[in-house]
Chain A
Amino acid sequence: GEDVEQSLFLSVREGDSSVINCTYTDSSSTYLYWYKQEPGAGLQLLTYIFSNMDMKQDQRLTVLLNKKDKHLSLRIADTQTGDSAIYFCAESDGGSQGNLIFGKGTKLSVKP
């Protein structure tokens, strides 16, 4: 079945870059997603990438997709304390509804 793997924790200093990695299993996933969950809140879509793209940049965020290795990464440049949150990678389950399979989430801690 589908599975999405992420490391559980990442700690960086303010101003550094953060790189959160994810591997997924379903090669038919049309889109891959990054969601952000701040403490005490629901998940919010941060960005997504279409499966025929290698890279997507959006201000401080860069998403890299390696389809051959089924590897997705999220880079946050100039990480701020407000970026501290849990980041979830997600793939589609390949069904007609495109339901999402979420990874276990990476908790990003940003130290001042």
Chain B
Amino acid sequence: DTAVSQTPKYLVTQMGNDKSIKCEQNLGHDTMYWYKQDSKKFLKIMFSYNNKELIINETVPNRFSPKSPDKAHLNLHINSLELGDSAVYFCASSDPAEGLNEQFFGPGTRLTVL
């Protein structure tokens, strides 16, 4: 049973296109995240949602729009893709309690913008 799943695993697209990445978790967690990992493997948080509500929106262009239809899903829609958007995008989920925030990560979506 996959705890946090993402689709697609690979996404290759042209500059200027619009694309979506889907994320689902079956852990019953209230909080979900999107991270971007660049080519040097540096990991940066983009968004955090708690119970379908946006909690964190780091300095991310507004071409990126997360959507949480329900607690188990957090999708990432990207408009007008640019070369610099090429990266691996990770979804994660957790149920923070008493300061402990063990996050469970999906396998990642490798986005390549040509």
Contacts and interface: CB of A to CB of B under 8 A. Distances in A.
A89 B70 CA distance: 31
Interface of A: 30-31, 33, 37, 40-45, 48, 86, 88, 92, 97-100, 102, 104-105, 107
A73 B75 CA distance: 35
B40 A43 contact: no
B28 to A, nearest CB: 17
Interface in B30-49: 31, 33, 40-45, 48
B99 interface: yes
B42 A100 contact: no
A43 B98 CA distance: 22
The prevalent SS among residues of B at the interface is strand
Contacts of A41: 107-108
A92 B99 contact: yes
A44 B105 contact: yes
B99 A98 contact: yes
Given A42-B106, A45-B103, A104 B45 contact: no
B41 A98 contact: no
B96 interface: yes
Nearest to A41: B107
A105 B98 CA distance: 26
Contacts of B50: 97
Interface string B73-106: 0000000000000000010100010111111111
A41 to B, nearest CB: 6
B41 A105 contact: yes
Contacts of B45: 99-100
A84 B108 CA distance: 19
B55 interface: yes
Given A97-B31, A97-B48, A99-B48, A31 B99 contact: yes
A30 B102 CA distance: 12
7 contacts: A30-B99, A31-B101, A33-B102, A43-B90, A92-B99, A102-B44, A104-B41
B56 interface: yes
B40 to A, nearest CB: 7
